[in-house]
């Protein structure tokens, strides 16, 4: 599908305006490593706002131009072009702020699925202040493929059904996403052992982000 960026975002002069620098934690890990599970658990905690870029796209109206475009890319296991992704993300965040769901003054932003390559790290850098990068590591590729197969049935995700597409996404991760770990300042990286049970993984993540929350935010009013 040929896409006209103007028709998608014509009423939104997003990048020109001054945008606050959202204080963020970036989750990095291969498909099936458990980023979504952890993100959902973290989002229950006051003072934390979690964004999954995959969920952001899946929430789009399927009949819309952007929704159709997303479907085309996602069923092939490919990424939506970087500029469209970042603009969609900016608009999404702004809506959440307007709806008072996310408050950048009080909430730590957890990013899951974005940035996905070095170009996206650069495109996002004016808008996010990356406090920490959580690098979720699980060496057993087959364990992750099994998790993805389970998710395909539970969540009816087209991109999880086809083994070829799953392997393609894995290769993309290895070639383009994992290198962002070397691109960020090394003192910002924290390794999380994602082979562990979900409660243990959550424990490891909290032991990193609680001190970050304490340092950068006042206690949330609950």
Residues near ligand AMP (CB under 6 A) are 31, 53-54, 57, 73-74, 77-80, 85, 113-114, 116, 120, 159
Please say which residue, 60 or 217, places its beta carbon nearer to ligand AMP.
60
Q: Are strands 189-193 and 108-112 parallel, antiparallel or unpaired?
A: unpaired
Task: Work out how close the CB of 215 gets to ligand AMP at its nearest, in angstroms, rounded to a whole number.
Answer: 27
Task: Work out how close the CB of 149 gets to ligand AMP at its nearest, in angstroms, rounded to a whole number.
Answer: 14
Please say which residue, 73 or 145, places its beta carbon nearer to ligand AMP.
73
Task: Work out how close the CB of 78 gets to ligand AMP at its nearest, in angstroms, rounded to a whole number.
Answer: 6
Task: Work out how close the CB of 13 gets to ligand AMP at its nearest, in angstroms, rounded to a whole number.
Answer: 22
CA distance 120 to 200: 30
CA distance 144 to 135: 16
Please say which residue, 24 or 213, places its beta carbon nearer to ligand AMP.
24
Radius of gyration of the chain from its Cα atoms, rounded to whole angstroms: 17
Q: Are strands 108-112 and 48-52 parallel, antiparallel or unpaired?
A: parallel
- Per-residue DSSP letters for 72-111? HHHHHTPPPPHHHHHHHHHHHHHHHHHTTS--TTT-EEEE
The residue number whose beta carbon is nearest to ligand AMP equals: 54
């Amino acid at each position: 599908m040929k896409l006209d960026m103007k028709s998608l975002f014509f009423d939104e002069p997003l990048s020109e305006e001054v945008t606050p620098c959202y204080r963020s934690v970036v989750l990095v890990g291969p498909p099936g490593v458990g980023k979504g599970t952890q993100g959902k658990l973290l989002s229950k905690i006051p003072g934390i706002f979690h964004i999954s870029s995959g969920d952001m796209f899946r929430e789009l109206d399927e009949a819309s131009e952007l929704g159709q475009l997303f479907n085309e890319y996602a069923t092939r296991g490919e990424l939506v072009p970087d500029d469209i992704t970042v603009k969609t993300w900016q608009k999404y965040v702004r809506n959440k702020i307007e709806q008072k769901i996310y408050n950048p003054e009080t909430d730590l932003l957890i990013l899951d699925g974005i940035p996905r390559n070095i170009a996206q790290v650069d495109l996002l850098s004016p808008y996010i202040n990356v406090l920490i990068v959580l690098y979720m590591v699980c060496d057993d590729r087959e364990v992750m493929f099994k998790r993805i197969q389970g998710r395909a049935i539970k969540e009816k995700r087209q991109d999880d059904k086809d083994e070829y597409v799953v392997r393609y996404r894995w290769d993309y991760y290895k070639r383009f996403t994992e290198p962002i770990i070397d691109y960020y300042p090394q003192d910002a990286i924290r390794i999380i052992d994602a082979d562990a049970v979900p409660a243990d993984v959550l424990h490891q993540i909290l032991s990193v982000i609680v001190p970050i929350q304490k340092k950068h935010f006042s206690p949330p009013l609950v």
